[in-house]
Amino acid sequence: MRKQLIALAAVAALAPQFAAAQDSGNWLVRGRALYLQSDNGGSTTPDLKLSTNDKAFPELDISYFFTPNVAAELILTYPQYQEIKSDGTKIGGFRHLPPTLTAQYHFTNFQGFRPYVGAGVNFTSITQVHWTNADVAALKPSISDNSFGWALQAGVDIPVGNGWLVNLDVKKVKIGVDVKVDGTKIGDFNVDPLLFSVGVGYRF
């Protein structure tokens, strides 16, 4: 997946040479390859040194333009599986579904490309939490079912003609959960991922 991201980035760099026109429309649909890099923050008592794995997965987003400059974007994917590690050793896992909604400002005074910035909210639903380590499971650990947090975004669309475009995007998202043992909170774990994505879109 990393090789695919690099290849798409190379296409994006060359795309302005082939741009035919500044295509426009109220709707924009993109498909992107995304790489999640976890921050692995937070703390627990005792210190469990919790972390989760980085991973790549596909993403779909739908934007609606209220004006040529102002748009709203809904970012979607399917439930993703993440490992839970303690001091580098896998102790369990969970699935999360992290839809994100952002409000964006698109700059339209650049020739051949359209940068944008955005800010919004993320809701992450966490399901299918399980523990693979018997000693850990005996402590009856748990993490929060849901997470609400902010999302920041920056990116660029590069039109290649007839409504099609190449997209580069980066997001920082706040995702954090409480960590409990037998119902008692012992700390928190902050995934707080940095999300890099490359893809193609169609505006109409």
Predicted confidence (pLDDT) per residue in 137-156, tens digit: 999 999 999 999 999 999 99
| pLDDT tens, position by position, 64-97 | 999 999 999 999 999 999 999 999 999 999 999 9
Q: Is the pLDDT of residue 11 over 70?
A: no
Euclidean distance between CA atoms 174 and 156, whole angstroms:
22
Total-model pTM: 0.84
Domain ranges, residue 143: 2-203
Euclidean distance between CA atoms 3 and 187, whole angstroms:
37
Instruction: Give the count of domains, the chain.
Output: 1
Helix (H) or strand (E) holding 185: strand 184-190
CB atoms within 10 A of CB 2: 10
CATH of the domain at 64: 2.40.160.20
The whole-number pLDDT of residue 16 equals 47
DSSP 8-state assignment for residue 108 = -
Helix (H) or strand (E) holding 137: helix 134-137
Euclidean distance between CA atoms 97 and 152, whole angstroms:
18
Query: Minimal CA–CA distance to 158: which of 192, 190, 199, 124?
Result: 199
Euclidean distance between CA atoms 74 and 197, whole angstroms:
15
| Contact by Cβ (8 Å): 51, 88 | yes
